[in-house]
Amino acid sequence: MSALKLIEAAKAGDIEHIEALIADGEDLEQADDYGWTALNWAAGKCHAGIIQKLLDSGANVTHTGRDKRTAYKIALAATHIESAALLQKAEQKADLKPESEARPYCKAYVVEALRKFSGWREKLSNIDNDAIVFIHQDLSVTLAISHGENIVFDQSSYDWERFCMEELAFSVPTELELAAVFAANKPVDSHQAQS
């Protein structure tokens, strides 16, 4: 085993060895050539129990390797939802502000449903009742999937926001929610299913 005993134990998923190493005072922040610590590796390997042990022992949840990802981002990318949720909570507790990633998001609706809003005023004419329109993250509505193109409605207000949330169930999903949906819909690997 290399001098990076804690990292090797995290890669192997050996929680008993990790507990013994921590009890012996092993450095929680030792990093490999990639800059990853045991916490980063546990996140990538989906070892929620090891993640919890490392966090309880004081592992730095804000540490990033050369790839500039925290353990939360690593778990999220690997769609390890339980681990990502645990690490997200730890980041929030550490008051780590998430990077404001302005990612585009929209959801399709039949325009007839939106026309039920009392303040609805269309900028385009001759739109059939069964036409598909898109509500974007800023609550503007377009005829095209692209934000800002063929704008149908862009009169944002508290009432419109409430209508979108309550009547249309519109919300921009968090990255953790998107990862959970992806993980739930991911095809099962036939080799894993046989194990």
User: CA 100, CA 62: separation in Å to the nearest integer?
Assistant: 16
75, 43 in Cβ contact below 8 A?
yes
Mean pLDDT of the chain: 88
Domain 5-93 top-level CATH class: mainly alpha
- Which pLDDT score, from 0 to 100, does residue 190 have? 52
pLDDT tier, 6 (very low <50, low <70, confident <90, very high otherwise): very high
For residues 150-156, average pLDDT: 94
Strand partners, 108: 134
Phi, psi angle pair for 113, to nearest 5°: -65, -35
For residues 71-97, average pLDDT: 88
Q: Whole-prediction pTM value?
A: 0.63
Going from N- to C-terminal start, the domains of the chain cover 5-93, 106-166
- Full 3-state SS string of the chain: CCCCHHHHHHHHCCHHHHHHHHHCCCCCCCCCCCCCCHHHHHHHHCCHHHHHHHHHCCCCCCCCCCCCCCHHHHHHHCCCHHHHHHHHHHHHHCCCCCCCCCCCCEEEEEHHHHCCCCCCCCCCCCCCCCCEEEEECCCCEECCCCCCCCEEECCCCHHHHHHHHHCCCCCCCCHHHHHHHHHHHCCCCHHHHHC
* Predicted confidence (pLDDT) per residue in 25-79, tens digit: 999 999 999 999 999 999 999 899 999 999 999 999 999 999 999 999 999 888 8
- Which pLDDT score, from 0 to 100, does residue 1 have? 41
pLDDT tier, 95 (very low <50, low <70, confident <90, very high otherwise): confident
User: CA 176, CA 189: separation in Å to the nearest integer?
Assistant: 22
